[in-house]
Chain A
Amino acid sequence: MIGTARYWREIPQRYRYEAARCTACAHVAFPPRTLCAKCRGRAFEPCTLAGEGVVETFTVIRVAPAGYADEAPYAVGLIRLTDGVRLMAQVVDCDLARLAIGDRVRVEFRRIRQDGESGILCYGYKFVPAT
């Protein structure tokens, strides 16, 4: 379902963890947007997201969508980074039974999945326990 151009457009966010900081109010948009959600400003400068954060909430996916079944069960959570940005990502290399709200995690670059139709290997950020 993911065509080459569509995948390529998101590479700055997925490979380089790139966000956009509003030059007017310093709000960080991830992913980057045309208008700042806080002040409607249009000028941004690129920035890199913080590498650490805490788990604000999570679930363990037992019934996975097509393309992810081999990974199940796996945890997906909302991570609040130390720079204040919140994003959704998988939490891996952890004990699923002991994962909890408030756990500290750090980002790693991992393979997300292989797309069945286009054969694209999809990469991106995942989080692992911060020790």
Chain B
Amino acid sequence: MREVAVIGVGMNRWGELWEKSHRAIWTEAALEAVEDAGVDRVDAVYVGCMSGGLFVGQEHLGAMLAGELAMGPIPGVRVESACASGGLAFRQAYIAVASGAHDVVLASGVEKMTDVDGAAATYALSTAADQEYEGYHGVTFPGLYAMMARVHMHRYGTTRRQLADVAVKNHAHGTMNPLAQYRDPVTPEQVMESVLVADPLRVLDCSPITDGAAAVVLAPVELARRLARAPVVRVAASAHATDTIALADREDLAWLGSTARAAEQAYAQAGVGPSQLSFAEVHDCFTIAEVMVVEALGLADRGKGGEAASSGYTRLGGRVPVNASGGLKSKGHPVGATGVAQVREAVVQLRGQAGERQVRGARWGLTQNMGGTGASSVVHIFQGEGRR
């Protein structure tokens, strides 16, 4: 396997983009990434998208979006793994370059979620759960995470305030991200008094419905060093693991086994452990998700994920900032794009281009993207080589 680097990144301002179509949103981010990389062609395109079918009635996105690039009859591959579609698209692109099958590859993600109403969006998202044995009983995604939250709170004493502190932290980070959907800070009281969605989770515990795209360009690290347009960011590890799709089949309802497994493999590949990370971008689709992910990544002991946010350990300026970008919570969560946007943030941080939200001295960054209630987890580790 060859060493691989990320040589270009692109992302648009996320939000309710009524004036822009699915393909226009994608093309904006893709072109930005290609231009940032300074290449005149890519050999293949990977697109993460959870449900073009249910959100905009459009499938066959590999061909459609490769066509938008106007680079000829290049391969276009659509990757689906629910909310981990973007992270997995990046991983497939990484494997293509590492294996030597392709040299320069565009990895991207897109979701256009606001063309349908709230009920239709809720339904589309619910298809990531077991339709016959979870969805049939009227449970929603916030409901599934709420059940996990209740076990975590019952067993470890995680508090309602600690969940709120995750939202407060990520919104505070998001105020410094010009591309974030919600750039307003929130207080713990606002979170804890917001409308109940699925007890104990409230609307400000949940990531929003978002339109958006993100894209990055991958190439062999040797090529990246020759191009030397920006500080080289190397892909130090790529790992993927699965777990049962139905929550009822999990051994432990308060533990994200797929994330722990992928992280363990990623740390071994990169030769670093959680204590050496400069920052992490993780899948905070709900506040409880970040609490549990931080534990599965080894950034906090089991049961201490809530404390990690409340104590400032994972805040910008803390020991390991988590979601300096604002996370899904503030930046937005166009599901297929999320995993690629995490990679973009890692690259921007490791290049030292994150502006106000820059993590000082960032050298190692981790991204974790998750589908369903953790039935899929994709973990990547990146190393910044600094300016040469």
Q: What is the interface of chain A, defined by CB distance below 8 A to chain B?
A: 1, 10, 14, 31, 37, 56-66, 68, 71, 74, 76-78, 86-90, 101, 112-113, 122, 124
Contacts and interface: CB of A to CB of B under 8 A. Distances in A.
A90 B137 contact: yes
A101 B198 contact: no
25 contacts: A10-B132, A31-B132, A57-B253, A59-B143, A59-B147, A59-B150, A59-B201, A60-B198, A61-B139, A61-B198, A63-B122, A63-B142, A64-B138, A65-B123, A65-B140, A68-B138, A78-B147, A78-B247, A86-B248, A88-B134, A88-B246, A88-B248, A90-B138, A112-B138, A124-B136
Interface of B is mostly: helix
Interface string B142-178: 1100111011001000000000000000000000000
B137 A124 contact: yes
Interface string B185-201: 00000000001111111
B52 interface: no
Contact of B150 (A37, A101, A112): A101
Contacts of A57: 147-148, 150-151, 154, 253
A101 B254 CA distance: 14
Contacts of A74: 138
Nearest to B151: A57
A127 B146 CA distance: 19
A60 to B, nearest CB: 4
A76 B199 CA distance: 10
B374 to A, nearest CB: 15
Given A59-B143, A76-B138, A88-B139, A65 B122 contact: yes
Interface of B: 119-120, 122-123, 126, 132-140, 142-143, 146-148, 150-151, 154, 195-201, 246-249, 253
B253 A65 contact: no
Given A63-B142, A76-B143, A122 B136 contact: yes
B123 A66 contact: yes
A56 B140 CA distance: 18
Contacts of B142: 59, 63
Nearest to A79: B248
A55 to B, nearest CB: 10
B199 A60 contact: yes
A87 B150 contact: no
A78 to B, nearest CB: 6
Contact of A66 (B119, B143, B197): B119
